[in-house]
Structure 1
Amino acid sequence: MSKPIKLGRRAILAGGTAAAALALAPGSAFAAGYPERPVTVVVPWGAGGGTDATGRMIAARLEKKLGGSFNVVNRTGGSGVVGHSAIANADPDGYTIGLVTVEITMMHHVGLTELTAEDYTPLGLMNADSPGVTVSADSEYQDIASLTEAIKASEPGTFKASGTGQGGIWHLALIGWLMSEGLAPDHVTWVPSEGAAPALQDLVAGGVDLITVSLAETKSMVDAGRAVNLALMADERVGSHPDVPTLKEAGGAFALSTWRGICGPKDMDEAAASAISGALAEIAEDPEFVEFMNSRGFGIKYLDPAAHAAMMADTDTVMEQALGAAGLTSG
């Protein structure tokens, strides 16, 4: 049997701090005259999910910091490949940027694309979150211990889960959790979706038994009393959801983090890149951004462009190992 895998803090190495990144005087990195026309901000996942909400907030703050229009466009499909390709293949003139997610360090390992993190100009990491284990409000399992025991006692394929595409980060979260419990990575059947929002709809409709997505993405359904967060795949509880225990508290041994950052195409115009990265450094500490992220349970994790690049490279190595352990790599 494959050894359990653990992905935690290493997958989101800090590599720097917001304080260091903000050493520049406010506005000093902004390029005069940029933008001169509307900027497209590509979000590789569907409307209504955590990535979409984060992307729209960042776009709104960029408009206030830099002026001009920053227009969010959702480019879904291919388990994230379509949107990430749209960012990487855009003209590097600074007028198409996007929200690049942790999936970029995974997709090429599973044969979905040849794109890697090296095909982008990192402009700033803005967010990192851990996934939870969530069930519908009418599920017979209302705590993580009973759900875990039921899954372990079940025949393979009895339970169904969702949260993202096949081989996506939330799928890997499920796999890691199962393996840490001594189960096969496919003991629970994965039902692919184009993001957290459709997965939540499937959950409350009874199409799947559980989902593994961020707590922020489950907030609306939980607040409406239609879903329940049973546990968090993190080393410790988070301030936005202090009542949600970690898997470790229930005797588990698995933790994972995902992240979102702003990138442009490789070899992006330096003046535009400098303007955007300078603005992002300020946005990370902007009270409106902080309030928005905290109110929705999104974890703020800022890294400057250099640290952002180093983190993506490190995560790529971690994901290659994890996907290999789960038998999902194409090579």
Structure 2
Amino acid sequence: MNRETPSSKFQDPAKLKTTADRSRRLALSLLTSATALVLAGCGPQPPASDSASTDAADFPSKTISVICPWSPGGGTDRMARFMADQLQSRLGKPVVVVNKTGGSGAIGHSEGARATPDGHTITMATFELSTMHWMGISELTWEDFQPLYLLNGDAAAFFVRKDSEIKSLEDLLARIKASPGQITMSGTASGGAWDLARAGFFLKAGLPVDSVIWSPTQGSAPAIVELLGGHIDVVCCSLPEAATQLESGQLRALAVMAPERVAGFADVPTVKELGIDWEAVGWRGLCLPKGTPEPIVGKLAAECRAIVEGEDYRTFMEKNRFAIQAGSPADFGEFMRRQDAQWKTVIEAAGFARNQP
């Protein structure tokens, strides 16, 4: 049975008009609301930095790790721990040093570069970041990081025993030229920081890189032992690494590869004073993963600057005989760019490049 009635199937025209008016008003209201939403989306937005600024205001929110690519107890580790203690005091959150060694520094640097870019992982980057990719050890470069702060640069120098017949840098060069392949020298492993420093110096001095015998060691300490024992003729390493033996009168420094004489070692001439335009430093600085928000970089850089300008930092550096070479994120980035170019030239000319076509 059809349950519809004439009254339900056919509506009064007056009622139909009222219903139509209501529908039009509803549609107009919905259209107005939608337009307002679209316009709101197109209107002025909060600055993109607002969110990042909030992140910086809340930073740090947890423990900060400082990755040290070198073993506990060494100079880089001591510097990492000093900076960690200082940052912890200033930021009010735990800051711990994590030693990630191996691969000639590649393991620690790589872990730091791969970390989440939120400011909670900092890498104590070192000189090797300028060389490892050119030598085929790693594909990692300084451009994989956000520079935070340059802290230190210790120049390479040449050392002999106090009783050596080599009395000056001029004597050393004369002997090398007169008897190529007779002088023995050490300071690091083959292709290490100080081997590259002396190779670059030789190139600038017009000497073949192989005009001395480089005796590989695991660092400056065993090389100095070899020198004192009469097993090699010359050591190339930084002034701080040989400071104890210099002060005790066991060694003599011939010249330093610095732009000017080094504080605390004012009696050691630079190679530039002797007419050879060459500088070589083993540097250290703090880096963040690439992509770390700028406000967080700025906050950490400001803290680092305050530390570097403080008396505790100067006391620490003087105690360890580390040379202060400080720089902002921008300065540090430019410094690493120049270092990268410098060591590319030396590594290729000296035959250490392992990834050349």
Identify the residue that residue 103 of structure 1 maps to in structure 2: 128
1:307 matched residue in structure 2:
331
Confirm or deny that 1:177 pairs with 2:177: no
CA distance in 2, matches of 1:193, 1:86: 26
Question: Alignment partner of 1:108: what SS?
Answer: coil
Separation in 1, partners of 2:94, 2:252: 38
Query: Is the alpha carbon distance of 1:73 and 1:202 closer, same or farther for their aligned partners in structure 2, counting shifts above 3 Å?
Result: farther
User: Quick one: distance in 2 between partners of 1:34 and 1:229?
Assistant: 46
TM-score, scaled relative to structure 1: 0.79
Q: Which amino acid aligns with 1:171?
A: D
**Within-5 A mapping of 1:234-313:** 234-268=258-292, 272-313=296-337
Are the equivalent residues in 2 in contact too, given 1:46–1:195 (CA < 8 A)?
Answer: no
| Residue in structure 2 matched with residue 128 of structure 1 by the alignment | 153
Gaps of 5+ in 1: 1-27
Q: Establish whether residue 92 from structure 1 lines up as the match of residue 153 from structure 2.
A: no
Question: Deviation of residue 118 (structure 1)?
Answer: 1.4
Partner of 1:203: 227
209-218 vs 246-255, greater mean Cα deviation? 246-255
Q: What is the Cα deviation at residue 58 of structure 1?
A: 2.0
Is 2:199–2:346's contact at 8 Å kept on the other side of the alignment?
Answer: no
1:61 aligns with 2:86: yes
Aligned CA-pair RMSD: 2.9
Deviation at 1:266, TM superposition (A): 2.3
- The answer as to whether partners of 1:128 and 1:300 remain within 8 angstroms in 2 is yes
How many Å separate the matches in 2 of 1:74 and 1:161? 30
What is the percent sequence identity of the aligned residues?
A: 39
Displacement after TM superposition at 1:124 (Å): 1.0
Shift of the 262–238 alpha-carbon distance from structure 1 to 2, 3 Å rule, reads same
2:89 pairs with 1:77: no
Q: Contact 1:241/1:297 (CA < 8 Å) preserved in 2?
A: no
2:186 equivalent to 1:162: yes
Distance 1:224 1:30, change over 3 A: farther
The Cα of 1:113 is off from its aligned counterpart by: 0.8
CA distance in 1 between partners of 2:107 and 2:149 (Å): 21
- Of 271-280 and 284-293, the range deviating more from structure 2: 271-280
What amino acid sits opposite 1:61 in the alignment? Q
Q: In the alignment, residue 238 of structure 1 is paired with which amino acid? A: V
Instruction: Answer whether contact 1:164 1:196 (CA < 8 A) is retained.
Output: yes
CA distance in 1 between counterparts of 2:291 and 2:217 reads: 33
Q: Is contact 1:42-1:83 (8 Å) kept?
A: yes
Query: Following the alignment from structure 1 to structure 2, what is the Cα–Cα distance between the partners of residues 207 and 91?
Result: 48
Contact 1:125 1:303 in 2 (8 A): yes
1:214 pairs, out of 238, 248, 251, with 238
Mapped to 2, the partners of 1:39 and 1:182 lie a distance apart of: 48
Label 1:288 to 1:29 Cα distance change in 2 as closer, same or farther (>3 A): farther
1:322 to 329, 334, 346: 346
Q: Distance in 1 between matches of 2:226 and 2:80?
A: 24
Give the structure 1 partner of residue 138 of structure 2.
113
**Which letter maps to 1:143?**
S
Deviation at 1:102, TM superposition (A): 2.5
**Structure with greater helix share of residues:** 2
Q: CA deviation at 1:166?
A: 3.1
Query: Could you tell me how far 1:184 is from its partner in structure 2?
Result: 1.0
Computing the radius of gyration from Cα coordinates, the structure with the larger value is 2
Q: Is the 8 A contact 2:154 2:281 kept in 1?
A: yes
Q: Is the 2:180–2:212 contact (alpha carbons within 8 Å) kept by the matching residues of 1?
A: no
Distance in 1 between residues matched to 2:74 and 2:177, nearest whole Å: 30
